[in-house]
Chain A
Amino acid sequence: MTENSMPPADHLANPPQPALRLHRELTRVWSNAPGIRGVFTAVNHSTIGLRFMCTALIFFGIGGLLAMLIRTQLATRKGAFLDTEIYNQIFTMHGSIMMFLFAIPMLEGLAMYLLPKMLGTRDMAFPRLSAFGYWCYLFGGLILIGALLMGVAPRDGWFMYTPLSGSTYSPGINADVWLLGVTFVEISALAAAVEITVTILRMRAPGMKLTQMPLFAWYILGAAVMMLAGFPPLILGSVLLEIERAFGWPFFDPERGGDPLLWQHLFWLFGHPEVYIIFLPAAGILSTVIPVLSRTRILGYGAIVASILGLVFLSFGLWVHHMFAVGIPHMALAFFSAASLLVAVPTAVQVFAWIGTMWKGRPQLKLPMLYILGFFFTFVMGGLTGVMLAIVPFNWQAHDTAFVTAHLHYVLIGGFVFPMMAGLAYWLPMISGRRRIKGLGELAFWTILVGFHGTFFIMHLTGLVGMPRRIDVYPDHPEWEMLNLVSSVFSFVMTFGFALFALDCILQAWLGKHARRDPWKAPTLDWAMALPPPAYNFASLPRPDMTGSEYAGGAEVALTLARGEGVLPGAPRGHREVLVTGIGHASPQHVAILPANTALPIQFAASIGVFVLMMLFGLYYVALAALLPVLWFAWRWARALVPAGSVPPVEIAPGLQLPTHYDSAATLTGSGLACFLFANGTFFASLIFGLAFITLVSPGPAPPPLEGQAAVSAMLIAGGLLAAALASLVPGRALKEVSEAGSPLRLIAFGLAANLAALAALAGLAIWQLGDPRVHAQTAVRAALLGYVALQLFITAIFAAFALDQARRGELAAGHLGALRHWNLWQGYTLAIGAISAAVIWAQVLSQ
């Protein structure tokens, strides 16, 4: 079936079945394992999404407690509550927890929980990856919290500027905890971004066109793509700084040709888009809840999608506005100042669309709407101070003062926390299956609102009278004391409000009366199911006549689907089956059989955790050995996807059969790999940026002359490229061979050998020609580039080895192409980045 060949809706209808029988059949297949086993083996999106959200809220509580300690310390000018060392750790951990352990995981959890329900499917595209991401998040978060409890938490601010975070000024493991812990956590962000992207593009219910899907999905798609592009620079920066701290490669050391500004560039290349990564899902909640509670449709669907598009791109052109005070030439300042002003336009378009929606509808002042009004009041003020900070002269005046702290809290609490609480109030009846207890939520809202503005509005003034951020005492500035005291008092009011909110949620889940179906009368698919939702979401999947607009769903649809009258009813084959559809029109393409409950995700994440801990404790050789279990679990992960035998096509409606993903070309795995390669490419581009920056812009001493002989270097580079080029011919030819029923064993073995030969050439280049990477930043960044190419070659060799194993087992046949297609993709990427790296290194050498 091609992308555009959509069968008529009545051809996709199945005869009605007893709803209870279908429910039992599906529950048996889709439920988590019972008891403690279920804790470690669950992969279901509702479970994992809830785990993400609950864990994020616990971390939010911890971060909030740290904020209270900060405010207690600052309430008086000679505060003796905390000493400077502990204060530094606390404000660093407050920011890091709120950003990396609360905001991002919270949005990931909400997206994982809601997306399949909104899109009319039964799970995310890669359930094991969801679970793996959760365990990485939990283990990474525990490393950070454990360090805090032991008094060795990071203390250099949540953006970890060098040289303060370098080994000279931050000896000990404090900074390493941040670099390794946060990077571990970010694995989960990348995993979530890949599967969110693939789920939205490939798993929408039949007929749900991209231009008709719920706006929430557009927002989450935008955020996921931004995560794919935004997190790699941070991961690169963290890796480089950890290498500098552990092995002395001087990427950021100006005395050896490095530049601390490179860290700032890499950090803010992530850090500013991060603000929009957090804001977009929150705006998605607003665009979903506002029309429902205004009893109307959203105004300007197309304009909002265009605004999301604008934000996704423009937010990557603003990062330098965090660096206006570092001495950047006027023209560069002007570029980024202009982009910072421009980004207010798409945000304003959305704000006007939301106001217009409320204007044309009949808004109901229910609890979610209160939080939405709180959002408007707060976020607009935060946006306006953002426009002030985009103006360079004002920025210089307010730089590093409490004004900036106030601005960022207005944007983040206004733009993320208020909408998220609106969302929780809106979806909690779905999640808990219970109604809320009236009155408590309203009291919590007003307490939070008053407490927040009392704390942070005053903080603008504190900043304008000159108080720098991150100081623990101010004995010589009595004029700041009253302002700080007022902020501190109101901050406790705000905390009390958040405690009330938490109590409201707990009481609702515990004592609330059972909620009726679709309590908001929402016209979307997420409410077209029983409350709380069953593990499988839909007994049968929605048909095109149920998804023809962004307003699908309703009670009629819920009953029809529960009786199995949609597509792919029940689970008669005992598998977790979902429908994979085309990107544009969502026409059915094949049936994917998703993996069932498994402990592999926690085992895989734990093996990475051991590696991270070994690195943290400086046991580098042991860390190297700890990579072996990581490889073992990665291999098992892939092996678990290989079918035991042939899998027959699946009848999704009477007379309409579709192949399973084992016999299909455009699989979810292929799409996921393409997304991952996009993130990988961003990582590579950031590394090239780092090399260019250190070569062209960094001040400091000239690099030492090259140690090796140019002719030998050229031969090794040419040899490595030739081997990689030969290897890149293999997967395609092997695919052809398999399709023609031939045996590709020797061909694949040649491909593996060619990749290993390319790896050997790189090793030769590193050992004999490169020079000591500890001597100068240019040598170090060159070595980092070679290391990156070597890693890609190594992964390519693993692909080849896997394909070889499949060929040896006789698992490759026409229609069953195993790992060959994915190897082909990775091999092509590796050849491309190898060629670019060779050219770049050559240009760098010539520039010397």
Chain B
Amino acid sequence: MKGRGLLWLGLVALGPAIWAAAFTLVYALHGAGCAAGWAGIDAGPVSLHRLLMLLGWLAGITAGGWLLLRLPAGKDRETWLPRAGALIGLFATLFTLVPVLFASSC
């Protein structure tokens, strides 16, 4: 936090913010895809709709994982809280968007 309180707060919130961005992106792709009929377009083994949502999900996981790896480990609160935020974000991204793997899309 040294000298950069707002930056530190931003870092704490960054992990969940990545989840929020990924969740919004995938939900928006879901709505747009259903409206535009992407579910009926094949893209290899899955539909274009599912592929795009999968890519959105993977982008969220990658960003969350990258953040977690970049943040230093430590037990003091100033170091620990940003990592806790990153963990929350990563786990939330994994768990809340896992339905892109199996649920019917539209």
A positions within 8 Å CB-CB of B: 2-4, 201, 209-211, 301-303, 305-306, 309-310, 312-314, 316-317, 329-335, 338-339, 342, 346, 582-585, 692-693, 696-697
Contact = CB atoms under 8 A, between A and B. Distances in A.
Given A342-B92, A584-B3, A313 B8 contact: no
Contacts of B6: 583-584
A332 B49 CA distance: 13
A210 B1 contact: yes
B88 A306 contact: yes
Contacts of A585: 1-3, 5
Nearest to B4: A584
A395 to B, nearest CB: 16
A309 B85 contact: yes
Nearest to B32: A696
Given A211-B77, A309-B13, A309-B88, 15 more contacts: A209-B1, A302-B77, A302-B84, A305-B81, A306-B81, A309-B85, A317-B19, A330-B104, A331-B105, A334-B103, A338-B99, A584-B1, A584-B4, A693-B31, A697-B35
A2 B2 CA distance: 11
Nearest to A342: B95
A317 B25 CA distance: 12
Given A329-B30, A335-B23, A697-B31, A309 B1 contact: no
A302 B28 CA distance: 34
Contacts of B19: 313, 317
The 7 closest A-B pairs by CB, nearest first: A584-B5, A583-B5, A334-B99, A4-B3, A313-B16, A306-B84, A211-B77
A339 B8 contact: no
Given A316-B20, A330-B103, A331-B105, A306 B27 contact: no
Interface string B3-22: 11110110011001101100
Contacts of A317: 19-20, 23, 92, 96
Contact of B9 (A210, A331, A332, A696): A210
A287 to B, nearest CB: 15
A346 to B, nearest CB: 8
A447 B4 CA distance: 51
Contacts of B104: 329-331
B100 interface: yes
Contacts of A302: 77, 80-81, 84
B1 A331 contact: no
A3 B97 CA distance: 40
Contacts of B95: 338, 342
B98 interface: yes
A335 B99 contact: yes
Scoring A332, A342, A346 by chain B CB atoms within 10 A of each residue's CB, the highest score goes to A332
Interface string B68-106: 000000000110110011001100100111111001111
B34 interface: yes
Contacts of A329: 30, 34, 104-106
A256 B17 CA distance: 37
A328 to B, nearest CB: 10
Nearest to A313: B16
A747 B85 CA distance: 46
Nearest to B99: A334
A331 B103 contact: yes
B30 A332 contact: yes
Contacts of B52: none
Given A3-B5, A313-B20, A335 B31 contact: no
B26 interface: yes
A390 to B, nearest CB: 12
Contact of B88 (A4, A310, A584, A696): A310
Query: Residue among B88, B98, B105 with the most chain A CB within 10 A?
Result: B88
B100 A310 contact: no
B1 A211 contact: yes
B91 to A, nearest CB: 8
6 contacts: A306-B88, A310-B88, A331-B53, A331-B100, A584-B2, A584-B5
A310 B93 CA distance: 12
Contacts of A346: 88
B2 A335 contact: no
B106 A583 contact: no
A693 B35 CA distance: 10
Contacts of A331: 30, 53, 99-100, 103-106
A346 B88 CA distance: 10
Contact of A210 (B8, B23, B32, B98): B8
Contacts of B100: 331
Given A329-B106, A335-B97, A696 B31 contact: yes
